[in-house]
């Protein structure tokens, strides 16, 4: 498996496009790349890194000879085709929520739980975007000081809902000056009955609601975090909010450590050496992470570190990352890179 | 004091304008209104409710004969002129942070601590916008179930930084399509050295930083909440974030109650009868508060009520209000109305 035959399912989407770009940019050892999408997109030409690719229709036979298949075309497509790909010998790296909470399927952020990869049986799940950046940033803190509890509020960009959501924000923004004829047809949830403008607004709903009153996005953060950390007893509760930001998710994360007596400087110390993390936390210089400046970057930016004056183990962090890159495409490609390292080591 | 001589200091600003509008719309028993502002604005004509007003310069003598003076022109103007107004017999309702944490000066949200008004010695402080909507929404919960702890993340509109910040957001938004020549000259803090674009961004800084790493906005929320509730032992920690929203502050508020065994329906029960509160919490119908729909409204909107599955007394709330109205102008006018009720009762 020195040179890999790769397939990307959902190659025309916001994340699929970035997976192709990252594979080429990071010089992944590719033998061939097959771009798969719906029948409607079949025949479409995609150019990346000066190479031309023709999109093919996703069908079971398309996975013949494929070594690694990236899936990012919605949960139902993964449910339809992932097993077909595995049956034909491919390892599937799935970027949808279809298999994330299946116990036997590893849910992997390489900086956090690379070991889980070794147990895969053909399918590896890539966590939700808002989960990835949080657990990767918290991992060095958890390793050194222990994590007891998380209270999270997110500030999420529209690109997390796909290219059409970006178009919706842009169209609404243009019409906003006159406030006339603003159409909301997609957000907060394409499947929902009601749609609300996102331009100059905050929508406290991402994905559909569960009977508990939590949204699926909130439950993903809560459940996936416990699974990735292997900490079923971790207390975690989240509020997820969509905002008029194109790309870059931000998170206001409140943590309680297992240990007392930890200082902000102790947290800075472990974060400053952590893989994939950029500590951007110099408040005197007004230096802190912001989504506008995280766009297009591979790293996770962490700042606004503060001790809760009223709680002995409580701290705040502000965590920002490009939701299409580390939140999705980059993490998937890093999983693939780790697979190769494991096999060849 | 059946007919009141009123002055508004900072009458040309975002909040001053709304104070005038609210006084007229709510038929406050006015004998005369004097609009005061900087020398630069003196002579300017303001039209409200079909009445014409001429702006005068703020000077000590301008407060002769004034019964109630609303101040909303920045902390240094309040420091310069509030005592001058009191000396001349006026009661000052101050919308700046100048006197809020002075122990002898009442900090009032009428729905929460009306009693504090009776102890005023001439100056009454109006709390920070983000504090007001939170304490008013939490008051019925606190009364019935007790509050032990708050963890807050805010989603704040640019109008909280004044009319110039709205203009900055609009100008940046127009230029954003080409991403060329975007000027950031005001936000996050006019006094700061660095300025960042707010369009399509999230800035985790409102007001300047304290040595602790908290911003003054965050410390206002934390300190003012304890003072208004009269709960110095309340645990509270906040993260305040500026967003590309014109008007309407949203807050993701996590609370721990004093009591166990409380249900979401119990919280809904007390909120549904609370003064000034609109419970908007039907997730099955995708009904929840949003800033775009709170603009221009007097009420505080509360929704997304959820029980933390991992903590016996933990709940989430999502609280939204027009930061210029209940967050500032309306609360000031309600304080004035309460003063009159107290005097005549």
Distance separating the N- and C-terminal Cα atoms of chain B? 12
Exposure string for A283-299, b = 16+ CB within 10 A, e = fewer: beebebbbbbbbbebbb
- Half-sphere exposure in the Cβ direction for A249 (13 Å, CA): 29
Q: With an 8 Å Cβ cutoff, is A288 touching chain B?
A: yes
Do B332 and B126 touch, CB atoms closer than 8 A? yes
Among the partner residues B151, B202, B204, nearest to A245 by beta-carbon distance: B202
CA of A345, closest CA in chain B: separation in Å? 40
User: Which of B197, B205, B303 is closest, CB to CB, to A292?
Assistant: B197
Q: Does the annotation mark B249 as catalytic?
A: yes
Strand partners, B22: none
CA dihedral A124, A128, A129, A135 (to 10 degrees): -80
- 8 Å CB contact of B204 and A304: yes
Q: Does residue A170 sit at the B interface (CB-CB below 8 Å)? A: yes
* Cα–Cα distance measured from residue A179 to residue A175, given in angstroms and rounded to the nearest whole number: 6
pLDDT, residue A329, reads: 97
User: Given an 8 Å threshold on Cβ–Cβ distance, is A213 in contact with B305?
Assistant: yes
Residue B318 near chain A (CB below 8 Å): yes
Residues 6+ apart with CB under 8 A from A255: A138, A141, A147, A149, A150, A314, A315, A316, A317
Distance (Å) from the alpha carbon of B202 to chain A's nearest alpha carbon: 6
Q: Are strands B51-54 and B45-48 parallel, antiparallel or unpaired?
A: antiparallel
- 3-state SS assignment for residue B143: helix
Count of residues for chain A? 345
CB contact under 8 A, B201 and A292: yes
d(CA B271, CA B318): 13
Task: Give the pair of three-digit tokens for residue B7.
Answer: 């002055």
User: Is residue A223 less than 8 Å (CB to CB) from chain B?
Assistant: no
Looking at residues B5-9, what average pLDDT do you find?
Answer: 98
Residues B174-208 as b/e (b if ≥16 CB within 10 A, e otherwise) read eebeeeeebebebbbbeeeeebbbbbbbbbbbbbe
Q: How many CB atoms lie within 10 A of CB B307?
A: 19
Looking at residue B126, the DSSP 8-state letter turns out to be P
- Measured between CA atoms, the residue of chain A closest to residue B207 is A286
Q: What does the pLDDT average to over B130-158?
A: 98
pLDDT of residue A190: 87
Alpha-helix runs per DSSP H in chain B: 14-25, 75-87, 110-113, 129-145, 163-175, 216-229, 264-272, 291-294, 330-344
Rg (CA), chain A: 20
Per-residue pLDDT of chain A (345 residues; tens, 9 = 90+): 469 999 999 999 999 999 999 999 999 999 999 999 999 999 999 998 889 999 999 999 999 999 999 999 999 999 999 999 999 999 999 999 999 999 999 999 999 999 999 999 999 999 999 999 999 999 999 999 999 999 999 999 999 998 899 999 999 998 777 666 788 999 999 889 999 999 999 999 999 999 999 999 999 999 999 999 999 999 999 999 999 999 999 999 999 999 999 999 999 999 999 999 999 999 999 999 999 999 999 999 999 999 999 999 999 999 999 999 999 999 999 999 999 988 776
Collapsed DSSP state (helix, strand, coil) of residue B70: strand
Q: Minimal Cα distance from B293: which residue of A?
A: A201
Q: At what angle do helices A264-271 and A129-145 cross, to 10 degrees?
A: 110
ipTM of the complex as predicted: 0.96
Per-residue model confidence (pLDDT) at position A345 = 63
pLDDT score, position A243: 98
How many beta-carbon contacts under 8 Å exist across A and B?
167
Separation in Å, CA B289 to CA A195, A290, B255: 14, 25, 18
Q: To the nearest whole number, what is the mean pLDDT of chain B?
A: 95
Please give the Cα distance from A257 to A285 (Å, whole number). Answer: 28
B241:A252 CB<8 A: yes
**pTM for the full predicted model:** 0.96
When pLDDT is averaged across residues B166-183 and rounded to a whole number, the result is 82
Q: Which B residues 231-250 touch A at CB under 8 Å?
A: 234-237, 239, 241, 243-246, 248, 250
What does the alpha-carbon distance between residue A101 and residue A98 come to, in Å, rounded to a whole number?
8
- Confidence (pLDDT) at B345: 63
Q: Is B129 a catalytic residue?
A: yes
How confident is residue B182, by pLDDT bands cut at 50, 70 and 90?
confident
B286:A311 CB<8 A: no
Give chain A positions within 8 Å (CB) of B213. 264, 283, 304-307
């Amino acid at each position: 498996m020195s040179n890999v035959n790769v397939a990307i399912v959902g190659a025309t989407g916001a994340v699929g496009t970035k997976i192709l770009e990252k594979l080429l940019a990071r010089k992944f050892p590719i033998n061939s790349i097959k771009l798969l999408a719906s029948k409607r997109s079949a025949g479409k030409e995609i150019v990346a890194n000066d190479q031309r690719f023709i999109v093919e229709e996703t069908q079971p036979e398309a996975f013949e000879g494929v070594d690694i298949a990236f899936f990012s075309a919605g949960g139902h497509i993964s449910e339809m085709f992932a097993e077909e790909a595995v049956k034909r010998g491919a390892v599937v790296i799935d970027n949808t929520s279809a298999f994330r909470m299946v116990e036997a399927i590893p849910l992997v952020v390489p900086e956090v739980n690379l070991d889980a990869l070794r147990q895969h049986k053909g399918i590896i799940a890539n966590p939700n975007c808002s989960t990835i950046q949080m657990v990767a940033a918290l991992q060095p803190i958890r390793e050194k000081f222990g994590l007891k509890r998380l209270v999270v509020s997110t500030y999420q960009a529209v690109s997390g809902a796909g290219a059409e959501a970006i178009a919706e924000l842009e169209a609404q923004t243009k019409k906003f000056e006159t406030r006339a004829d603003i159409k909301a047809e997609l957000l907060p949830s394409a499947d929902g009955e009601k749609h609300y403008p996102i331009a100059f607004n905050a929508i406290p709903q991402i994905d559909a609601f569960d009977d508990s009153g939590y949204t699926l996005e909130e439950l993903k953060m809560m459940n996936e975090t416990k699974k990735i950390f292997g900490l079923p007893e971790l207390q975690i509760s989240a509020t997820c909010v969509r905002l008029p930001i194109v790309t870059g998710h931000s998170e206001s994360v409140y943590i309680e450590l297992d240990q007392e007596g930890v200082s902000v400087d102790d947290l800075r110390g472990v974060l400053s050496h952590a893989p994939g993390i950029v500590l951007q936390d110099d408040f005197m210089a007004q230096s802190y992470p912001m989504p506008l400046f995280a766009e297009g970057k591979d790293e996770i930016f962490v700042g606004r570190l503060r001790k809760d004056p009223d709680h002995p183990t409580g701290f705040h962090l502000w965590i920002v990352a490009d939701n299409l890159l580390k939140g999705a495409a980059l993490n998937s490609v890093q999983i693939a890179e780790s697979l190769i390292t494991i096999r060849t080591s």
